[in-house]
Amino acid sequence: MLALLAMADCMQDWPEPVVRVQALAESGLAAIPRCYVKPLCDRPAPAADDDASSGLSIPVVDLRGGGGDELGDQLAEAVAAACRGWGFFQVVNHGVRPELMRAAREAWRGFFRLPLPEKQKYANSPRTYEGYGSRLGVEKGAILDWGDYYFLHLSPEAAKSPAKYWPANPVICKEVSEEYGGEVIGLCERLMRLLSASLGLDETRFQEAFGGAECGACLRANYYPRCPQPDLTLGLSAHSDPGVLTVLLADDHVHGLQVRRRDGHWVTVQPLPDAFIVNVGDQIQILSNSMYKSVEHRVIVNAEEERISLALFYNPRGDVPVAPAPELVTPERPSLYPPMTFDEYRVYVRKNGPKGKAQLEALKGQSITENNE
Ligand SMILES: O=C(O)CCC(=O)C(=O)O
């Protein structure tokens, strides 16, 4: 606990003055500053070498129906195959209204189009991350990503900071995001039942293990400006998501999300119209004792067009210890992770910023306190 408090303490402020990537991009510079230039091993491959050109793509799961036993079983099987093979899938016929999806994306696009001083009123700090931000992690001298974002908690109510919470403009932003959040949280709850059933567990098992009706949900609107040297940098570095599930609404016409295949190659996702992209987070890897694994993903940028995406992170209740479900632990498959709460895990991950899967791997067989020291 003391280690956790000490860590939270070093996260009061960013280690360097924050520069808005959008302002840099709009200044018309021809070369990106050194602090955005990734080491060679992290730079995106030239488009022609991308696995998208080989026709590979993440699976698509059609959620229509599924109420009856047989259809429900088929759906659970489709989800199991997608989680085992990729940890990423697109969902169609998911029940969230396409007009609401578009309205939410356009409301946030409107926010990023506001003049800089207006956006600066919502500048965030690493203490809660809520608000307008341009970096993840507090490591001094870190190589930064080519993107800005707006982050906020949708639920539970108690997690929200009272000050500067929702941007006042665009006026529609709060209403549309809350409505959108409500529908996507409903989708997450449905996916949780399918995931649970797909591992042969009672369909409420996952939800209960993560805190029942008090699971958390956060929204991050990501904005990736045009970049004069897209081959040298990333919009978002490789990472796995710390929570339970992420439901991503990608840009309607600009690609950018790449998923790391089991063999290490990066595949660019081609979003289907009105689909969501879903991925398994670290908490599912922990609860399933690594039967389902969270998967690294990253974002590439381009010189021609800005890109926007909305990521809804569905998280466990902050104070519930999460550990491998006893039903999934056997003598041949012993428990891989120590129990830890999401509040502890999030501080640990936030301190370091995006680091592929290194952070979760480092926890295997150790306690979070050892790692927080
Ligand atoms: O913008 C994207 O496509 C992905 C965003 C993402 O991975 C995230 O917000 O964690």
DSSP 72-141: HHHHHHHHHHHHHHTSEEEEES-SS-HHHHHHHHHHHHHHHTS-HHHHHTTB--TTT--EEES-----TT
Residue 220: CB within 6 Å of ligand 1? yes
Residue of 135, 219, 246 to test ligand 1 pocket, by largest number of atoms within 8 Å of CB: 246
Number of the ligand 1 atom closest to the C-alpha atom of 307: 1
Do residues 292 and 87 make contact, with C-beta atoms less than 8 angstroms apart?
A: yes
Distance (angstroms) between ligand 1 centre and the Cα of 135 equals 13
Residue 248: CB within 6 Å of ligand 1? yes
Residue 301: CB within 6 Å of ligand 1? no
pLDDT for position 354:
75
Residue 360: CB within 6 Å of ligand 1? no
Residue 105: CB within 6 Å of ligand 1? no
The CATH superfamily holding the domain 2-372 is B-lactam Antibiotic, Isopenicillin N Synthase; Chain (2.60.120.330)
pLDDT for position 161:
79
Number of the ligand 1 atom closest to the C-alpha atom of 298: 7
Q: Whose CA is nearest to atom 9 of ligand 1?
A: 311
pLDDT for position 94:
97
Number of the ligand 1 atom closest to the C-alpha atom of 220: 9
* Beta strand pairing call for 297-299 and 236-239: antiparallel
Residue 154: CB within 6 Å of ligand 1? no
Do residues 311 and 245 make contact, with C-beta atoms less than 8 angstroms apart?
A: no
Q: Using only C-alpha atoms, what is the Rg of the chain?
A: 20
Do residues 7 and 371 make contact, with C-beta atoms less than 8 angstroms apart?
A: no
pLDDT for position 160:
83
Burial of 120 (0-12, 13-18, 19+ CB in 10 A): middle
Q: Whose CA is nearest to atom 5 of ligand 1?
A: 311
Question: Coil, strand, or helix at residue 352?
Answer: helix
Distance (angstroms) between ligand 1 centre and the Cα of 102 equals 17
Q: Whose CA is nearest to atom 1 of ligand 1?
A: 309
Number of the ligand 1 atom closest to the C-alpha atom of 222: 1
Distance (angstroms) between ligand 1 centre and the Cα of 89 equals 14
pLDDT for position 2:
47
Distance (angstroms) between ligand 1 centre and the Cα of 333 equals 32
Task: Give per-10-residue mean pLDDT for the chain (373 aa).
Answer: 53 91 96 98 76 74 76 87 96 97 98 98 93 94 97 90 86 96 97 95 96 95 98 97 97 95 92 97 97 97 97 97 97 95 89 77 66 49
Residue 309: CB within 6 Å of ligand 1? yes
Residue of 249, 299, 312, 350 to test ligand 1 pocket, by largest number of atoms within 8 Å of CB: 299
The span from the CA of 348 to the CA of 282, in Å, is: 13
Identify residue 348 by its one-letter amino acid code. Answer: Y
Number of the ligand 1 atom closest to the C-alpha atom of 277: 3
